């Protein structure tokens, strides 16, 4: 996914460059590797490495090293995501929880500090925390399941995720453009449903035999179910 998004960004940048330059011919060659995208996506890791060399699996400031930034279990087996990195957010959270004594522990990367925060969060259920913090502007939220996320009022209001008549989730584009969210058609096409139209549009059959077309993936194809069954039988 990171590689695909990096590629889309590069393609859009190339199209914009062409539009600005006015050059129609030649095109742009984009060399996009999954490794490059993965290295680039690890921004917080490289920021931490700039301060000092890190070991594999060592907690970083945004991956559990700081008491004010992490995921903690609640009393009922749920989880609470705490992202109060800024001092005013952390102070607001501690005051709402009636634990002002923990304010100074915000950046204390010690086991004792973590244990105190973990014990505090484990003293209430996930929903009790949600109710308590609803009146406070703090980046602390309950961790929701996929089903709970779909039923969340804000998710419903934004319209990025919904279920169609077939019960399957549909994702829209993650941004609104002129107050409209682009989304794919509701009906999922069957395997090969658009093959004929694509072949005709691009004249891919010219001078090629039926055997050559099948070998290249054009033409009648096996159903996905039978193809998957063959793979699992081999396994």
- Whether 134 and 66 map to the same domain: the answer is yes
Q: Is residue 120 part of a domain?
A: yes
Domain at 92, CATH number: 3.30.1540.10
Q: Is residue 157 part of a domain?
A: yes
Confidence of residue 209 (pLDDT cuts 50, 70, 90): low
Number of domains, the chain: 3
| pLDDT at residue 213, rounded to an integer | 65
Where in the sequence is the domain holding 67, given as residue range(s)?
Answer: 61-143
The rounded mean pLDDT for the chain is 87
Distances from the Cα of 154 to the Cαs of 149, 150, 164, in angstroms? 9, 9, 18
Question: How many residues does this entry show for the chain?
Answer: 235
- Whether 90 and 125 map to the same domain: the answer is yes
Average pLDDT over residues 197-226: 67
| pLDDT at residue 201, rounded to an integer | 85
Q: Is residue 91 part of a domain?
A: yes
- Whether 157 and 89 map to the same domain: the answer is no
- Whether 127 and 75 map to the same domain: the answer is yes
- Whether 138 and 150 map to the same domain: the answer is no
pTM higher than 0.75: no
Q: Is residue 65 part of a domain?
A: yes
């Amino acid at each position: 996914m990171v590689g695909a998004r990096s590629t889309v960004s590069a393609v859009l940048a190339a199209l914009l460059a062409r539009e600005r330059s006015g050059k129609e011919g030649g095109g742009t060659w984009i060399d996009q590797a999954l490794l490059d995208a993965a290295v680039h996506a690890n921004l917080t890791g490289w920021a931490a490495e700039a301060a000092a060399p890190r070991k594999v699996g060592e907690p970083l400031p945004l991956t559990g090293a700081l008491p004010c930034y992490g995921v903690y279990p609640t009393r009922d087996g749920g989880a609470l995501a705490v992202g109060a990195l800024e001092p005013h957010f952390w102070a607001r959270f501690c005051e709402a929880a009636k634990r002002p004594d923990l304010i100074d522990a915000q950046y204390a990367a010690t086991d004792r500090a973590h244990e105190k925060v973990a014990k505090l969060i484990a003293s209430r259920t996930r929903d009790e925390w949600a109710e308590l913090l609803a009146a406070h502007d703090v980046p602390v939220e309950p961790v929701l399941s996929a089903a709970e996320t779909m039923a969340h009022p804000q998710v419903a209001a934004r319209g990025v995720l919904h279920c169609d008549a077939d019960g399957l989730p549909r994702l829209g584009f993650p941004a609104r453009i002129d107050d409209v969210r682009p989304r794919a058609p509701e009906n999922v096409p069957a395997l090969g449903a658009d093959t004929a139209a694509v072949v005709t549009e691009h004249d891919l059959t010219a001078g090629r035999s039926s055997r050559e077309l099948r070998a290249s993936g054009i033409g009648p194809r096996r159903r996905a179910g039978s193809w998957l069954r063959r793979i699992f039988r081999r396994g």
